[in-house]
């Protein structure tokens, strides 16, 4: 039997090598239900008891090392933030399907071939990371905050980790999350506590927290030198040493239709749904085209708007029999616009170009 890196019922998911993809067309409303939320894990889900679990906070960047119990964290001031969490490799398969660029250019890796559903939006609740760091006596010369998980991967035998800059760690919306959509974190999503780093690629939101190491020096590790870096002709490795390319942190602006790929629809008037998101910025508009970009029309923005969440949009489209493609293009309050072209990178990360969604109308 193949080992699975999840414990939830995987009925209805798209099963990938180390994760579960939510079929994106099943997303409805603002929040993704916990049972539908995508999963990506480096190894088996750790079994944790809150009776014995402690969150350590240590390193040369703090004055007072801590060992916080679950009850300690629950007793601190709690805040909640709506955040769209997205894998850096979401849309990876579109490099092949749209750009005709073959993947598998890293022979030591098995690429997780995400379609559109390596993303979900939840209300995360817990303790501000900065509150814990201040309790530990964060030093003024602290540089990196590195969360370490209880899960093990072949690149980190002592626990999965990914560093966060001090500025992002002290952001009031960066959380040590204890709840997801009003419930204690499910096992697949980091119980009893995980980090949530809004706007950054999902690898920084370490699950099953074991400790947080604060250092006064820059930390280099597999997840910012080898795995979550942009490698290829556009990113000469000599410019980024000791990393093999440009380390990834912020998510780019994206939009996608909540339709199967490819989609089949009946002829007639259709209302198509989709979701747009950007890093730390509200989506201000989404435009769409069904003629290859010769003309663009405004979509209708619906539902809540939050700088860390996604924004739902709707398109009224008259579907005529035949083969069609529809493209969507998002803009945000920081004047960022979804690009028409992007360079390929060897890891297949951050695919966010305006792309044609194939639709067959019967």
SS3 content of the chain, % helix, strand, coil (to 5): 10, 35, 55
CA atoms within 13 A on the CB side of 235: 19
| Pairwise CA distance, residues 37 & 33, whole Å | 6
pLDDT of residue 154: 72
d(CA 72, CA 347): 40
Query: Does residue 155 have a pLDDT over 80?
Result: no
Amino acid 213: pLDDT: 98
Q: Where does the pLDDT of residue 1 fall: very low under 50, low under 70, confident under 90, or very high at 90 and above?
A: very low
How many Cβ atoms sit within 10 Å of the Cβ of residue 290? 21
- Looking at every residue in the chain, the average pLDDT score rounds to 96
What is the Cα 33 distance to its own chain's centre?
A: 16
Q: In this predicted model, what pLDDT tens digit does every residue of 57-96 receive, in sequence order? A: 999 999 999 999 999 999 999 999 999 999 999 999 999 9
Q: Are strands 19-21 and 39-40 parallel, antiparallel or unpaired?
A: antiparallel
pLDDT of 134-145, one tens digit each? 999 999 999 999
Q: Is the pLDDT of residue 156 over 90?
A: no
Confidence of residue 107 (pLDDT cuts 50, 70, 90): confident
Q: Which two tokens stand for residue 151?
A: 């899960």
| Average pLDDT of the segment spanning 163-170 | 98
* Residue 312, burial from CB neighbour count under 10 angstroms (0-12, 13-18, 19+): buried
Chain segment 14-53, per-residue pLDDT in tens: 999 899 999 999 999 999 999 999 999 988 999 999 999 9
Please compute, for residue 80, the number of CA atoms within 13 A of its CA located in the half-sphere on the CB side: 12
Annotate 192-222 with DSSP letters as a single string. T-EEE-TTB-GGGS-SSEEEEEEESS----H
pLDDT at residue number 324: 98
pTM: 0.96
């Amino acid at each position: 039997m193949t080992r699975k890196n999840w414990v939830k019922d995987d009925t209805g998911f798209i099963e990938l090598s180390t994760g579960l993809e939510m079929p994106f067309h099943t997303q409805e409303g603002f929040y993704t239900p916990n049972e539908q939320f995508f999963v990506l894990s480096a190894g088996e889900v750790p079994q944790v008891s809150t009776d014995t679990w402690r969150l350590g906070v240590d390193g040369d960047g703090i004055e007072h090392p801590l060992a916080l119990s679950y009850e300690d964290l629950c007793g601190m001031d709690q805040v909640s933030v709506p955040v769209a969490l997205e894998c850096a490799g979401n849309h990876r398969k579109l490099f092949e399907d749209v750009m005709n660029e073959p993947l598998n250019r890293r022979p030591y890796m098995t690429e997780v071939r995400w379609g559109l559903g390596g993303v979900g939006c939840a209300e995360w609740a817990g303790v501000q990371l900065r509150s814990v760091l201040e309790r530990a006596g964060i030093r003024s010369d602290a540089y990196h905050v590195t969360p370490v998980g209880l899960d093990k991967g072949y690149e980190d035998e002592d626990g999965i980790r990914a560093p966060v800059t001090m500025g992002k760690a002290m952001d009031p919306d960066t959380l040590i999350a204890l709840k997801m959509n009003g419930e204690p974190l499910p096992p697949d999503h980091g119980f009893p506590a995980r980090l949530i780093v809004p706007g950054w690629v999902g690898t920084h939101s370490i699950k099953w927290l074991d400790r947080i190491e604060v250092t006064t020096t820059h930390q280099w590790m597999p997840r910012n030198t080898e795995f979550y870096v942009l490698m290829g002709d556009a990113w000469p490795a000599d410019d980024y040493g000791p990393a093999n390319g440009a380390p990834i942190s912020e998510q780019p602006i994206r939009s996608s239709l909540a339709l199967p790929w490819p989609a089949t629809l009946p002829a007639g008037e259709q209302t198509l749904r989709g979701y747009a998101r950007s890093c730390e910025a509200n989506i201000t508009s989404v435009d769409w085209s069904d003629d290859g970009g010769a003309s663009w029309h405004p979509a209708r923005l619906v539902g809540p708007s939050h700088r860390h969440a996604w924004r739902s949009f709707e398109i009224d489209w008259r579907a005529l029999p035949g083969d069609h493609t529809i493209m969507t293009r998002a803009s945000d309050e920081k004047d960022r616009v979804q690009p028409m072209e992007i360079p390929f990178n060897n890891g297949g990360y951050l695919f966010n170009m305006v792309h044609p969604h194939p639709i067959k109308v019967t």
